[in-house]
Amino acid sequence: MGSAAALSKLRVAESLLGDGFEAFHFYEQVVKLVPGILYVYNHELQSNEYSNTSIGALLGYSPEEVLEMGANVLPQLIHPDDLPRLGVYFQQLAGLFDGETSSIDYRAIARDGSIVWLRSNDAVFERDENGRLRRHVGVTNDVTEEVNKAARLKDAYHDLQRRTAQLEYTNAELEQLTYIATHDLKGPLSNLRHLIEMLREELDPADQGIAEILGWIEASSRQAHDKLQALVGVAKVRSAELSPRVRIDLQSTARSACNVLAREIDAAQATVLIDFEAATEVFFPQFEVSSMLENLISNALKYAHPDRTPEIHLLSRKVAGGVALSIQDNGTGIDLPRDEEKVFGLFKRAHVEPAGSGIAMYTIRKLLERYEGHITVDSVEGEWAKFTLFFPNPEKES
């Protein structure tokens, strides 16, 4: 835009330099320095009176060819869809003050038929004796790549909106299915369990065949009930309102978790070592941290190696942006990376025995992710496993 404004003042330079060699040399140097196409358009003749050689690089026409187009210059060079808009723009140029500039983006058609996006920065160059616009001067640059990038960004944005809408629709359907599973199925399952008890009382307990069938039905009913309860827990983690984060003392929270699991720890003759000196606190909902520690310590006991006494190490350290808390055991370990997806998958388990619901690790991961944290696992199969929880430090929490 500044180039067009400067060019509109060339007439001042002409009056100072005269019409000799100095003036010609001055114009020649300016034309070489101006980036893009420099042109002068005559509104009375509706044609280009001048174009510099840069037009050849952009559109494939020489300045002489453009001059010969005369009044057909715009219909021949400008995309037909942009001609009306460009015509209105040319009319509006008459309202510019001296030294003021205006700009427009439009499409031109090159000699080879390709479409080139151009941006013209224009200024009034000459008016007639009645003040009407006679000529304007402009500098035009190729902005095809810029326009294409903007179009790609727009397409990507619309695609993101479409995908977001699809995800929202899918989530809404999942929530509805979860509601059905966690509410509408509770009654039938409960009735089935009561029916089993009634059958036990009515049927002959000495009949081994009937007892076996009832046992199978009862086991299946219990399994369905446990799955349903697991779905309820998953639904709460995925959709429940986030609890406020508070300052949590890791030492006391870990001790409380060990107290809850005291019977299991004593039965396994396990040793639980706690070292939180490097990082004593995290910011997180209190109940959730307690629940996660209880689950991870319980898992370490559950998957203890049969040939050695369980040892569980809880260690914290400060890391960039938060605190990392690791729970390492000397148990059976996990085959990584083969079973990593199973470790954190919903209703998936890395071990066949002992039995489990397959939701604890999934729930921990989802819960941490909702608070912008994460969990990782490292292990050597048959020797040890270590789970590391990352708790982000919010800037302002109390």
pLDDT at site 4: 46
Q: What is the rounded CA–CA span in Å between residue 224 and residue 182?
A: 11
- Residue reference for tokens 């039905």: 217
Q: Is the pLDDT of residue 222 over 80?
A: no
Classify burial at 95, counting beta carbons within 10 Å of its beta carbon; exposed 0-12, middle 13-18, buried 19 or more: exposed
Classify burial at 379, counting beta carbons within 10 Å of its beta carbon; exposed 0-12, middle 13-18, buried 19 or more: buried
Q: What is the rounded CA–CA span in Å between residue 57 and residue 30?
A: 18
Q: Is the pLDDT of residue 336 over 80?
A: no
Q: Of 49-53, 71-75, 145-149, 297-301, give the lowest mean pLDDT range.
A: 49-53
Nearest to 85 by CA among 114, 115, 113, 105: 105
Give the chain's largest Cα–Cα span.
127
Q: Is the pLDDT of residue 358 over 50?
A: yes
Q: Of 45-49, 127-131, 236-240, 387-391, give the lowest mean pLDDT range.
A: 236-240
Strand-pair partners of 390: 324, 374
Rama region for 281: left / alpha / beta (φ>0; ψ in -120 to 50; rest): beta
Per-residue pLDDT tens over the stretch 224-248 = 666 666 666 666 655 556 778 899 9
**pLDDT category of residue 11 using cuts at 50, 70 and 90:** very low
User: What integer best gives the mean pLDDT of the chain?
Assistant: 81
Q: Is the pLDDT of residue 396 over 70?
A: no
**What's the first-to-final CA gap in the chain, in angstroms?**
53
Q: Of 136-140, 223-227, 265-269, 366-370, give the lowest mean pLDDT range.
A: 223-227
- Residue reference for tokens 């010609």: 24
Q: Is the pLDDT of residue 171 over 50?
A: yes
Nearest to 254 by CA among 280, 293, 225: 293
Tally of CB atoms within 10 A around 14: 13
pLDDT at site 123: 92
Residue type for position 232: V
Classify burial at 357, counting beta carbons within 10 Å of its beta carbon; exposed 0-12, middle 13-18, buried 19 or more: middle
Q: Is the pLDDT of residue 252 over 50?
A: yes
Mapped onto helix, strand or coil, the DSSP state of residue 392 is strand
CA angle at 326 for the pair 303 and 305, rounded to the nearest 5°: 20
**pLDDT category of residue 13 using cuts at 50, 70 and 90:** very low
Tally of CB atoms within 10 A around 1: 14
Residue type for position 344: F
Mapped onto helix, strand or coil, the DSSP state of residue 22 is helix
Q: Is the pLDDT of residue 113 over 90?
A: yes
Which tops the pLDDT comparison, 159 or 211? 159
Structure tokens at 184: 């509408």
**Over the Cα atoms of the chain, what is R_g?**
39
pLDDT at site 312: 96
At a CB cut-off of 8 Å and minimum separation 6, what does 106 contact? Answer: 78, 79, 82, 85, 86, 117, 118, 120
> Which helix or strand (DSSP H or E) is residue 176 part of?
helix 144-179
Q: Of 19-28, 266-275, 335-344, give the lowest mean pLDDT range.
A: 19-28
pLDDT at site 248: 93
Determine contact, residues 310/268, Cβ cutoff 8 Å: yes
Determine contact, residues 347/296, Cβ cutoff 8 Å: no
Per-residue pLDDT tens over the stretch 69-97 = 999 999 999 999 999 999 999 999 989 98
